Each structure stands twice: as structure tokens, then as C-alpha cells.
Chains A and B, each alone.
Chain A
Amino acid sequence: MTSHEFELENVTVRFPSVTALDSISLTIGTGEQIALVGPSGSGKTTLLRLFNGTIRPSSGCVRVRQVDTRELSSMKLRQLRSQIGFVHQDLSLVPNLNVLQNVLSGRMGRESFSQSLRMMLLPIQSETANVHKLLERVGIEDKLFARTDRLSGGQQQRVAIARALYQQPEAILADEPVSSVDPARAKDTIGLLTKICRDDNLTMCVSLHNLDLARKFFPRLIGLREGAIVFDRQTSELDDDEFHRLYQLTEEEMLSDKVES
């Protein structure tokens, strides 16, 4: 039996004003690399948040490594989250701490308060060395002691990735990680992220707006629109029409909206 990292079974997520996901089923195998594509508001972020247990499904079942997330206690849920790295769109770093401290905070799901305090104030040599090694992998090793808000957007992006890697995760989720950097940097960053995940055999699920990047770097694509899966295919099997329809449809909708108003 192949092992599944993430499994959704008829999952619906309703927010007070909107249904974000409507009866979705899908499986993501361990070590797979997947891009979620689709227009804004199609449910990509909600889907990613189901995977790391920060949203509960309104109905249906979410299993992460065969465990139903609804049945987890607070403690077990935190344990699960500590094994899943998440790279946020807005990076979510503490700007006035240095890079070392921000990366170290990746281990806070596993450490007690007193351990965390010690780690933040007096990191031991091995911790600093480990962080330095990670920064080398993401190409900003010279920024170890720099204040995080002094870094460029692309460099901060790499700090966020290093923090996720410092968790020693089994999977990495990323929500529009390159939406705020220029195309060349976006390509570099996605290339780096996919390479690291391949090297370390991490499951990876990234939501992307950039279709070219999605096709170039990810073997499997899931297209979402209005909370439903439009396609879930190997990239090689996907034809251009299918791909463009994903966005074109919403353009028509936008036009029709304008006519109505």
C-alpha cells in the first residue's frame, strides 16, 4: 500500500458568508510535489490550512498520515503541526528579531517555553551551526545575525523557508510564496524549494498564481475554482485549453458581474 500524506474525503468547509470548499476528495502521497492553481478565492488557502490542521472541515474527513485531524487532542494537534512546515504569503516573520532567532523559532512546536526562551536568548553552538547550514542551503548564510527587516523581500522569503526547514518537517506547505517577488526571483525560489523537497524527500504542496512556474516545476497540478476541483492531473497530460479555461471562466463571470451592476 502506498502511504498517503494528506487525504481528503468529501470535505466541505463553510465560513459564515461563503462555502470555501465544496465536497472535495483527493489524496496526496508521501514525497509528492503538487501545485495548487486557480483564481483568487478558489479555496487554495483553505485547502492548505486543512492539511496542517488550522481549519476544521465543516463536514467530511481530513486525514494526515492516516490520522483523522478531528480526533486529535490539542497536544496531538500541536505535535502534528510541528511536523508540517508552512511558508506564508506574508512571510510572518518577526521583523525586529535577527535571522537566527526567526529560524530558531521553527523549533517552537517541539520545545517547552523555558527551552524556547533559552534558545532565543542564548543559542548553543550546535543550534547556530545548524541554522547556518540551512541558510547556506537557501543561499543567505551571510545574513545569520542580520535584523530580519533589513533583508530584501526575496531574502526574507528564504528566511521563512529556512524556518520551515528547521522544523525538520515531513511536509512543506506554501501559500502563494512568491507572489511578492519579481519573476526571476520567483523562479529561483520555487526552484530552490522543489529541489530541497526532492533532496529531503518531503511532501510538498504549493499554491501558485504563476501557471508557467507551476508547469515547469511540479509533476502534478490541481486546479481549483469556486471551491471545487476542476482538474487533478499529471502536468504532462494537461492540455493548454484545460489550463486556460480555469482562469477564463472567471473572466467571463467578472464581465457578467459588471453588466449586472
Chain B
Amino acid sequence: MRPLTRIFGLRSRVLLGILIAGGWAAWQLQLDFHELLPSNRWDTARDFFHAALSPAIVYEDPTPPGTQPLLAKVAKGIWQTICFAMTAISMAIVGGVLLGFLSSSAWWEDDPVRDTNWLRQLLRNLINPTIVWLTRTFVVLIRSIHELLWAILFLSAMGLNTLTAILAIAVPYTGYFAKVFSEIIDETPRDAAYAIRELGGSPFNVFFFGLLPRALPDITAYACYRFECALRSSAVMGFFGIPTIGYYLRPAFDEQHFHEVWTYLYALILLIVIVDRWSDLLRRRITQ
């Protein structure tokens, strides 16, 4: 008889392992799928999904005169969501590029023929690897904490304001960018970079004109994708009291104004779809 390992390849074994682990974990959690059926809250669920068919255009309850119209509030919330995400992403890209370069091995690659005095030896064997290690550790630290946790940390440490809300997104995103940028750079073919080194280019010229232009399409594509994620994060930050779309969504939820809730949700979905289309178009233009 053939051994089991021959019948099931590595991939099917991994897949099987994941499924078994998933089943075991569900059993550990005493998962009960009956909970999906909202026994006592059928009405709420029905109202909620029913409201999806008729999102509100005006407030469901009468409002005092002079209140901002609902759609104006939606527009303002969406605009704020974009502003927060945009600011956070811009900060994260700057930080991510900086840390990404420092933690990529291509940045530190040395010309093997360069003179070998003691200073260069010290740099090559001790100082450069130490900087890389420190940078990579720092990157792991900041990206292992989710943006919502960062928000809670900032909230308890110095109160959540516009700046700390932006930082709550920008800090972990810097980590994501640094990791992915450094990987993209290190996976970029280096032949053109070596060619520039061989015609006498300085290390800066080699990196920025031989390597980076080739990595740029992938870097831009990833930044676009992350902007989409940042929009969602920024929307959720509203639940912490930042005036993004989530800020208006929450009271509508609390008061069970489901038609209004759907107006906000549709606006958010529309925004994400538009950004997705736009980044797709951009990606195709730069990578074609």
C-alpha cells in the first residue's frame, strides 16, 4: 500500500489540517448555529433588512427647524471620511517609504569591489545589519497592533482628537507599508540596477533609478488598495467620536432609524466602489 503522504500531497494535507483545526476551534467555542436565527428579535432583523429597500432621504423623525438636511450630513460625513483617510495614508506612505527602504536588503547592498578599509568593514558587518534589525523590529511592533487598538490607546492616553485619530490609522499603516514596500523592492529584478552601478553610478543613483522605477507600479497599486482600507478604518473611527461617517451612523443605529442607517451605508459602499474602480484604472495605466 502506498503511504498516506504519497496519496495526499503537501497542499492537500495543509488544507485538510486547516479544516480540521477550524472544526476543532468551533467546537472549543461551543459554536451554536441556531444563534443565527434571531428568535426574539425577528422583527428587528426584518425591519433592518427591509429598510435596505428604502433608504431615507429625509430624517425619519421630525427635527427642529434649522437642522442640517440628512443628505447634507451624509455628504459631510463622507467628505470627512475621505479627508481622514487621505491624511493618514499620506503620512503612512512617507513613513512606510522611509522604513521600507531601511528594512529592504537592496538598500544596503554594497558594491563587492569597493575598498575594504576598517570603517567600511564595520559598516558592512555591524552597523548596517543592526539598523536593519532595529527597523524591522520596529515595523513588526507598530503593525502588530490594529488601528482600532491604537485608537483605544490614544483615546485613553491623550483623548481622541483629530490628530490622534489620524495617527491611530497612520501608525499601523506605516508598518504595513514598510513591510510590503521592502518586500516589493527586494523582489524587483536588480539587473538594471547593477548595470547602473557598473557604469559608475553612486549607490543613490543605483537604487533610485535602477531599482525604484521598476518597483513603483506595485508600490502604487498597494498604496491604492490600502487607501481603500483606510477609508473603512476612517469610517469606523466615527464610532469613537471622530466626525467621519461612522459618527453619524452610530446614533441612527442606536435610535433604530434603519432607513437612515442604510443611507449612510449606501454612501460608504458607493465611495468604496468608486475608489476601487478608480484605483483599478490607475493600476492598469501604470502597469500596462
Contacts and interface: CB of A to CB of B under 8 A. Distances in A.
Nearest to A53: B113
Contacts of B209: 94, 105, 108, 116, 120
B196 interface: yes
A117 interface: yes
A187 B224 CA distance: 47
Interface string B190-207: 011011111111101100
B217 interface: yes
B113 A93 contact: no
Contacts of B111: 74
A95 B192 CA distance: 9
B253 interface: no
B22 to A, nearest CB: 42
B198 to A, nearest CB: 5
Nearest to A85: B199
Contact of A113 (B197, B208, B216): B208
Interface stretch (A76-84, A131-139, A225-233, A242-250): A76-84
B114 A77 contact: yes
Given A78-B202, A110-B200, A113-B208, A94 B192 contact: yes
Contact of B196 (A73, A90, A91, A108): A108
A203 to B, nearest CB: 16
A81 B200 contact: yes
Interface residues of A, number: 41
Interface string B204-236: 110011100110110000000000000000000
Contacts of B205: 108, 111, 113, 116
B113 to A, nearest CB: 6
Interface in B107-130: 111, 113-115
Contacts of B115: 72-74, 77
A78 B192 contact: no
Contact of B213 (A52, A53, A96, A106): A96
A54 interface: yes
A92 B199 contact: no
A54 B199 CA distance: 10
A90 B200 contact: no
Contacts, number: 85
Contacts of A117: 208
B198 A54 contact: yes
A94 B113 contact: no
A109 interface: yes
Given A74-B115, A94-B210, A116-B209, A109 B191 contact: no
Contacts of A91: 191
Q: Chain B CB within 10 Å — which of A55, A81, A112 has the most?
A: A81
A181 interface: no
Given A92-B192, A94-B213, A116-B209, A106 B113 contact: no
A218 interface: no
B167 to A, nearest CB: 31
A91 B195 CA distance: 9
Interface string B159-203: 000000000000000000000000000000001101111111110
B204 A81 contact: no
A78 B200 contact: yes
A65 interface: no
A105 B198 contact: no
Interface string A142-181: 0000000000000000000001100100000000000000
A73 B192 CA distance: 24
A185 interface: no
Contacts of A94: 192, 209-210, 213-214
Nearest to B194: A92
B214 A95 contact: yes
Interface of A: 52-56, 72-74, 77-86, 88, 90-97, 105-106, 108-113, 116-117, 120, 163-164, 167
7 contacts: A53-B113, A73-B115, A74-B115, A90-B191, A105-B201, A109-B200, A120-B209
